[in-house]
């Protein structure tokens, strides 16, 4: 499920690409969706500033990442799919929800909420990375998720405050890493991801941490692998 195209106002493109690569490697068939709604705003990514005169549609922009093969989120049903995955990017907090503005008092897009509840009720796994775990924390009461660390640690975790918001939303936050410590090298999946086995929710920090791209890629790979494992196929 995509939320636009571009980290500051839509889907984080590196995360979406990494998810698609790992799903392909895992033998999964993929269909992409996005809500057919206006973006909260448009950011000029070269300046990091809003482009006041522009307006864009989330579905239309997401089609850039999907290479045109995308459908409205309203058409996504649990009957047709074994799992659902949400990349991060500020679009998850701006277009899929109002978390960027309202924090713990945020509202979640109606179709996003429906999808999360339907997959949860059907016992089908849900994967989320970066900022998108806030969606599960808001919609699925008591869900266990991770956005990494709970302290900024000198700027390494610039969005660490999100962990506190997750707790206020009613979720449980679990501290996880995005880099490998040698003593834990044989437990990479557990280090990179949190698997809430009760709710079948799998999360990984991704770009919540300031780190090298390959670390993000590996963490997302661990998330995807666990999602596929939970499908039982």
| 89 in Cβ contact with 10 (< 8 Å) | yes
The helix-helix angle for 13-25 and 213-231 (nearest 10°) equals 50
Closest CA to 84 of 32, 21, 9: 32
Of the candidates 5, 106, 129, 130, the residue annotated as catalytic is 130
Please say if 130 is a catalytic residue.
Answer: yes
CA distance 12 to 68: 17
Nearest Cα to Cα of residue 89 among 110, 117, 61, 119: 61
- d(CA 130, CA 148) in angstroms, rounded, equals 8
Whether the CB-CB separation of 87 and 19 falls below 8 Å is answered with: yes
Nearest to 157 by CA among 167, 168, 146, 142: 146
Question: Which residues does the annotation mark as catalytic?
Answer: 130
């Amino acid at each position: 499920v995509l939320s636009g195209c571009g980290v500051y106002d839509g889907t984080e493109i590196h995360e979406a690409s990494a998810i698609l690569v790992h799903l392909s490697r895992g033998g999964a068939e993929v269909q992409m969706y996005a809500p057919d709604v206006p973006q909260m705003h448009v950011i000029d990514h070269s300046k990091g500033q809003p482009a006041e005169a522009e307006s864009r549609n989330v579905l239309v922009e997401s089609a850039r990442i999907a290479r045109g093969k995308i459908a409205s989120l309203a058409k996504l049903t649990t009957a047709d799919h074994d799992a659902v995955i949400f990349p991060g990017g500020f679009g998850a907090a701006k277009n899929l929800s109002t978390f960027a503005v309202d924090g713990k008092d945020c509202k979640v897009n109606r179709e996003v909420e429906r999808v999360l509840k339907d997959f949860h009720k059907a016992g089908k796994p849900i994967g989320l990375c970066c900022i998108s775990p806030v969606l599960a924390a808001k919609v699925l009461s008591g869900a266990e998720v991770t956005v990494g660390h709970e302290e900024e640690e000198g700027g390494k975790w610039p969005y660490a405050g999100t962990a506190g918001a997750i707790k206020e939303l009613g979720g449980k936050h679990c501290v996880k890493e995005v880099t490998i410590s040698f003593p834990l090298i044989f437990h990479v999946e557990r280090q990179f991801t949190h698997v809430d086995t009760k709710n079948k929710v799998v999360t990984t920090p991704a770009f919540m941490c300031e780190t090298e791209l390959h670390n993000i890629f590996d963490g997302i790979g661990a998330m995807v692998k666990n999602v596929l494992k939970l499908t039982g196929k």
